[in-house]
Structure 1
Amino acid sequence: MTKSKNVFVVLKDRKQNQTKLIKETRDYVATNNVEKIYLLKIIDRSEDLGVFNPEAEEIIVTRAENDISKFISELGKVNCQVEGIIKIGSYQDRIEELSKQFNPEAIIVQSSKLSGIKKIFLGNTASDVINNAHCPVIIVGS
């Protein structure tokens, strides 16, 4: 049985310019015979907050669905399947969980330009992915 070739693309905030991420995804798919792209939209919040607001949750998930749809539209025609996945929790935990489930051959993530005190308190998704991934990680500058 041959292993299915798939790749993760981590979608971040809608405000970020995703032109480079789209180009890198197209290029990677074209040169690596990828069979499936998983677009990961992680809603970064603690699962231990103890507060649940169904209406707010529905709005956040709808926005994530719209982000995935917009990315697929802008990605255009690629010679593979594309599937969106929405998860709630930390980027590190959800990407690790999904990596075990789907065993991607690579993860493509856009770096954000955080510096100074923001970087200390907000962290950096790209750094988390690099430090915890069990496959190659492609960092795309924003």
Structure 2
Amino acid sequence: MFKRMLLAYDGSENSKRALDVAVDLAKRYEAKLDVIEVVDTSVIIGAGVGPVPPDVIESLYAKARADIEYAKKVAEQGSIKAEGIILEGDPASAVLDYASKNGVDLIVTGSRGLSTIKRMLLGSVSSRIIHESKIPVLVVK
């Protein structure tokens, strides 16, 4: 049924719960797990505070790398083959685009991640994924 699953991950408590569910499902279906974290630099750049220092952007990527390594370690402890991918852009769009281009059978995400003012105004990432996805989505509360 599910041979390739995508976990939208951001290191939040809800995404850690989603990681546990994704690992369990991947084990049951012998599926490959793609763990994706999307770096959304538009929030910082759009704040209008002038040029963003490169170390600020790098810190976002460093956090994403650490989050991905943690998730891969949890998956590997569960005997799951996991790949970590860091993307940049709007989180929901990036997740949906990756899923459609990579033959993903199921998207797993937490119900609320590390929100920003932008996401509070425009709606949650998980809500957009649910409404726009053409494949099944499992939202873990």
TM-score, normalised via structure 2 length: 0.78
Q: Which residue of 1 aligns with 2:5?
A: 7
Q: Once structures 1 and 2 are overlaid, which stretch shifts more, 24-33 or 129-138?
A: 24-33
Q: Which residue of 2 aligns with 1:21?
A: 18
Q: CA separation of 1:118/1:109 partners in 2, compared to 1, >3 Å: closer, same or farther?
A: same
After the TM superposition, which segments of 4 or more aligned residues of structure 1 sit over 3 Å from their partners?
A: 47-53, 117-120
Shift of 1:33: 2.1
Q: Aligned residue pairs: how many?
A: 133
Shift of 1:122: 5.0
Q: CA separation of 1:59/1:19 partners in 2, compared to 1, >3 Å: closer, same or farther?
A: closer
Q: Which residue of 2 aligns with 1:39?
A: 35
TM-score, normalised via structure 1 length: 0.78
Q: CA separation of 1:139/1:17 partners in 2, compared to 1, >3 Å: closer, same or farther?
A: closer
* CA RMSD of superposed structures (Å): 2.9
Q: CA separation of 1:58/1:105 partners in 2, compared to 1, >3 Å: closer, same or farther?
A: same
**1:17 and 1:128 mapped to 2: Cα distance?**
17
Q: Which consecutive unaligned segments of at least 5 residues does structure 2 have?
A: none
Q: Which consecutive unaligned segments of at least 5 residues does structure 1 have?
A: none
Going by fraction, where is helix more abundant, 1 or 2?
2
